[in-house]
């Protein structure tokens, strides 16, 4: 029986993936980190806006497993906000802290208990790449100091919505860069580790937009209805249903879909996993190494 640890498994396509993982023939032991109890698997409290909560969750996971290795780690939770004025308990901008820093810390804390041949999936977004023309402000950089403290960023857009979009797309660039760093050989990582940045495409009807203004939340919910979402997904290859996105995430977790050699970026297009090249920034080894090192310093870990 596979042992899987997951964030973002209580709503949206993450909940679909979680249900499927626990209902596989033979089952899987699924441990979910969430603020509220989950309907699938085992729940352990986790608040991604507090790094101390991440540390407590990681310690609880290790205690509960009692030596059993983790076969898959799914870092799926995420959010987008209408600005960058929010700060976490640790003083970091909220979108960057939740989407990147908290998951980076959890990954580092659980690396020692990942199984040989384990899979790590970080949910990203095609919006990290300007070439997708996704409509959101593309990332200008992946500087963790400026993303954690956007008021120090000389290029910060004065328009709150645009600044919020940049915080989101930059955090998703960080996910691709983290997968790139993780895939490199290091002494503290398991053998044959598969690191994947997973872009589910545009998936309406999830909880991602819950903090956006009411009109946007309403449109997001309506477009997520199958009666509207399915026809749209036939017209745009980037649009996917929650079921398609959830099942693809489960396939990655279970090893039913594996990356070709040298690939760490998976993109769901027309409900099929593809393995394209990510953005130009995401292909920078120097940027990936700098993000890994500076993120470690922000969360209080060795580089």
Count other Cβ atoms within 10 Å, centred on residue 260: 6
What domains sit in the chain, N to C, each tagged with a CATH number? Answer: 2-299 (3.40.50.720)
Write out pLDDT tens, residues 211-268. 555 444 444 444 444 545 555 555 566 789 999 999 999 999 999 999 999 999 999 9
What is the DSSP secondary structure assignment for residue 8, as one 8-state letter?
S
Tokens 């870990």 correspond to 301
Q: Can you tell me which residue has the tokens 């050699």?
A: 261
d(CA 108, CA 86): 25
Name the band, by pLDDT with cuts 50, 70 and 90, for residue 192: confident
What is the rounded CA–CA span in Å between residue 34 and residue 10? Answer: 7
Residue 246 and residue 121 in contact, taking contact as beta carbons nearer than 8 Å:
no
* Whole-number Cα distances in Å, 171 to 6, 64, 79, 143, 294: 19, 30, 10, 10, 14
Integer angstrom CA distances of residue 118 from 41, 121, 164, 256: 19, 10, 34, 13
CB-based contacts of 62, cutoff 8 Å, min separation 6:
110, 113
% of the chain at pLDDT higher than 90: 77
* pLDDT, tens digit (0-9, with 9 covering 90-100), for 70-127: 999 999 999 999 999 999 999 999 999 999 999 999 999 999 999 999 999 999 999 9
- What is the value of pTM for the model shown? 0.91
């Amino acid at each position: 029986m596979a042992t899987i640890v997951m964030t973002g498994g209580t709503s949206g396509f993450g909940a679909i993936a979680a249900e499927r993982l626990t209902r596989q023939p033979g089952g899987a032991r699924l441990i979910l980190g969430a603020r509220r109890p989950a309907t699938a698997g085992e729940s352990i409290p986790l608040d991604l806006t507090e790094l101390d909560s991440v540390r407590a969750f990681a310690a609880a996971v290790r205690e509960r497993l009692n030596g059993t290795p983790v076969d898959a780690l799914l870092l799926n939770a995420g959010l987008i906000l209408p600005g960058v004025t929010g700060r976490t308990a640790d003083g970091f901008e909220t979108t960057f802290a939740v989407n990147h820093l908290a998951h980076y810390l959890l990954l580092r804390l659980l690396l020692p208990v990942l199984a040989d041949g384990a899979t790590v999936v970080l949910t990203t977004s095609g919006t990290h790449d300007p070439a997708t023309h996704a409509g959101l402000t593309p990332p200008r950089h992946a500087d963790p100091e400026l993303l954690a403290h956007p008021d120090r960023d000389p290029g910060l857009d004065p328009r709150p919505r645009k600044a919020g979009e940049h915080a989101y797309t930059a955090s998703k660039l960080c996910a691709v860069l983290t997968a790139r760093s993780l895939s490199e050989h290091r002494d503290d990582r398991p053998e044959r580790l598969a690191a994947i940045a997973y872009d589910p495409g545009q998936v309406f009807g999830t909880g991602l937009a819950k903090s956006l203004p009411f009109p946007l939340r309403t449109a997001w919910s309506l477009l997520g209805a199958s009666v509207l979402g399915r026809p749209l997904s036939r017209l745009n290859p980037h649009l996917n249903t929650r079921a398609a996105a959830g099942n693809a995430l489960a396939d990655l977790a279970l090893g039913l879909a594996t990356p070709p050699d040298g690939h760490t970026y998976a993109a769901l297009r027309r409900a099929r996993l593809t393995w394209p090249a990510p953005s130009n920034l995401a292909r920078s080894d120097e940027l990936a190494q700098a993000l890994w090192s500076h993120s470690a310093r922000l969360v209080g870990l060795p580089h």
